[in-house]
A and B are shown apart, each in its own frame.
Chain A
Amino acid sequence: MAKIYFSEEHEWISVEGGVGTVGITEFAQEQLGDVVFVELPEVGATIDKGDDVAVVESVKAASEVYSPVSGEVVEINEELADAPGLVNQHAEGDGWFYKVDLSDDSELDDLMTRAEYDAFVEGLE
Chain B
Amino acid sequence: MNEIHVAASAPVGTVTGNRGLIVEEPLIFEQGTDTGSGVDLPEPFDVPDRLGDFRRTGPIGLPGLAEPQVVRHYTRLSQKNYSIDAGFYPLGSCTMKYNPRLNEKIARTPGLGDLHPFQPVSTAQGALAVIHTLAGWLMELTGMAGVAMSPAAGAHGELCGVMAIRAAQEAKGNPRKVILVPESAHGTNPATAALCGYSVVAIPATAEGRVDIAALKAKLNDDVAGIMLTNPNTCGLFERDVREIAELVHGAGAFFYMDGANFNAIIGRVKVADLGVDAMHINLHKTFSTPHGGGGPGAGPTVFSEALAKFAPLPFVKKSGETFELVETRAQAGADAQPFGRMKGFHGQFGVMLRALSYAMALGKDGLKQASGDAVLNANYILARLKDTLSAPFEGPCMHEALFDDGFLKDTGVTTLDMAKALIDEGYHPMTMYFPLVVHGALLIEPTETESKQTLDLFIETMQALAAKAKSGDSEFFHAAPRLTPRRRLDETLAARKPVLRWSQKAD
Interface positions of A (Cβ within 8 A of B):
34, 36-37, 57, 59-61, 84-85
Q: Give the residues in chain A near B493, CB-CB below 8 Å.
A: 34, 36, 59, 85
Give the contacts of B481-508 with A (CB-CB under 8 A). 492-493, 496-497
A-B contact pairs, 16 of them (CB 8 A): A34-B492, A34-B493, A34-B496, A36-B493, A36-B496, A36-B497, A37-B496, A57-B496, A59-B492, A59-B493, A59-B496, A60-B434, A61-B434, A84-B497, A85-B493, A85-B497
How far does the alpha carbon of A61 sit from the alpha carbon of B434 in the complex, in Å?
10
How far does the alpha carbon of A34 sit from the alpha carbon of B490 in the complex, in Å?
14
How far does the alpha carbon of A24 sit from the alpha carbon of B496 in the complex, in Å?
20
Number of interface residues of B (CB under 8 A): 5
Residue of B nearest to A60 (CB): B434
How far does the alpha carbon of A86 sit from the alpha carbon of B38 in the complex, in Å?
50
Q: Besides A34-B492, A34-B493, A61-B434, 13 other CB < 8 A contacts?
A: A34-B496, A36-B493, A36-B496, A36-B497, A37-B496, A57-B496, A59-B492, A59-B493, A59-B496, A60-B434, A84-B497, A85-B493, A85-B497
Give the contacts of B117-137 with A (CB-CB under 8 A). none
Q: Give the residues in chain A near B496, CB-CB below 8 Å.
A: 34, 36-37, 57, 59
How far does the alpha carbon of A60 sit from the alpha carbon of B493 in the complex, in Å?
10
Q: Give the residues in chain B near A61, CB-CB below 8 Å.
A: 434
Residue of B nearest to A85 (CB): B497
Residue of B nearest to A88 (CB): B493
How far does the alpha carbon of A37 sit from the alpha carbon of B496 in the complex, in Å?
8
Q: Give the residues in chain B near A60, CB-CB below 8 Å.
A: 434
Residue of A nearest to B417 (CB): A60
Q: Give the residues in chain B near A59, CB-CB below 8 Å.
A: 492-493, 496
How far does the alpha carbon of A61 sit from the alpha carbon of B492 in the complex, in Å?
12
Measured CB to CB, the closest approach of chain A to B313, in angstroms, equals 31
Q: Give the residues in chain B near A57, CB-CB below 8 Å.
A: 496
How far does the alpha carbon of A57 sit from the alpha carbon of B499 in the complex, in Å?
15
Residue of B nearest to A82 (CB): B497
Residue of B nearest to A37 (CB): B496
How far does the alpha carbon of A9 sit from the alpha carbon of B434 in the complex, in Å?
20
Measured CB to CB, the closest approach of chain B to A91, in angstroms, equals 16
How far does the alpha carbon of A59 sit from the alpha carbon of B492 in the complex, in Å?
7
Measured CB to CB, the closest approach of chain B to A87, in angstroms, equals 12
